[in-house]
Amino acid sequence: MSASSEPNMLAPGNLEKAEVLIEALPYFQRYAGRTFVVKYGGHAMGDPEAARDFAEDIVLLKAVGINPVVVHGGGPQIGAMLKKLGVESTFVDGLRVTDKATAEIAEMVLSGAINKQLVGWIAGAGGKAIGISGKDGGLVKARKVERTTRDPDSNIEQAVDLGFVGEPEQVDTTVIDTVVASGMIPVIAPIGAGDDGHTYNINADTMAGAIAAALGAARLFLLTDVTGVLDKHGKLLTDLNPADIARLRADGTISGGMIPKLETCVKAVESGCEAAVVLDGRVPHAMLLEFFTTHGAGTLVRA
């Protein structure tokens, strides 16, 4: 080989790669053997390229000694299937009113098509994953969600029956511990069984938060379709605690769909999870940028 054809090991691109690895090294060392719970949303699943990036990130975490646990949503996919089958959907406070037929369809979509698709993406990236739901191994015992709404005319508060919509009442991590100990990555559908024998559809953020708390996870990542929490000038707020969140909610900075996400984060960090992060799942490798670089990429919530 002539001197001119030899690869230039000091080329800028190679040096940048080495510098990125050096920057990430302390994080690899600090969190080896720890657990990351990652909630992957239904909207992000619609982009095949983003799905591949996500699967590669999960496999990389496993490869460097971190134990990722994936909890996925699927609202848009459930909605599409209900529409295809001619089933009407109604919502209360962002939660789908779920009758028995809708609950059966939701379980079919979440535990079936979406769950196995995610397992396949991770396998395609070189990882080994196993798909389960909250019903498997008694992972999540659910209780029926109770909601009230105020009549705008009479101002009287009324109970609303959401049907088979649940929330985690108890989490038994035995099945997750078994899967992780076998070297595989758990991929969990947000379905749980109640003491009444019924199957309940659970909000994926809520499910991920409860699992992160029960596992004492180092991180809970909520991948969403916004940058994170923004101040009134549109600037990303990178580090918050529960008191900050209460203040920002009171002055209207935090509103809409961000409120339940941050409620999930606060509950998780106050119940055993070390920190939670809200970040934009549409950004390639956003989770890695948030965790393995000094500048981060989302909003970090700590107790």
> What DSSP string describes 28-95?
HHHHTT-EEEEEE-TTGGG-HHHHHHHHHHHHHHHHTT-EEEEEE--HHHHHHHHHHTT----EETTE
- pLDDT of res. 5: 54
Under CATH, to which class is 32-301 assigned? alpha beta
What's the chain's average pLDDT?
A: 87
CB 211 within 8 A of CB 176: yes
Q: Report percent pLDDT > 90 for the chain.
A: 52
User: Which residues have CB under 8 Å from 163's CB, separation 6+?
Assistant: 97, 98, 99, 100, 102, 103
pTM of the model: 0.88
CB 295 within 8 A of CB 234: no
Greater confidence, 204 or 15?
204
- pLDDT of res. 10: 57
Mean pLDDT of 231-257: 89
Mean pLDDT of 39-47: 73
Mean pLDDT of 224-248: 89
Q: Report percent pLDDT > 70 for the chain.
A: 89
CA angle 156, 161, 162 (to 5 degrees): 125
pLDDT band with cut points at 50, 70 and 90 for residue 160: confident
Mean pLDDT of 111-139: 95
Mean pLDDT of 90-106: 81
- pLDDT of res. 263: 94
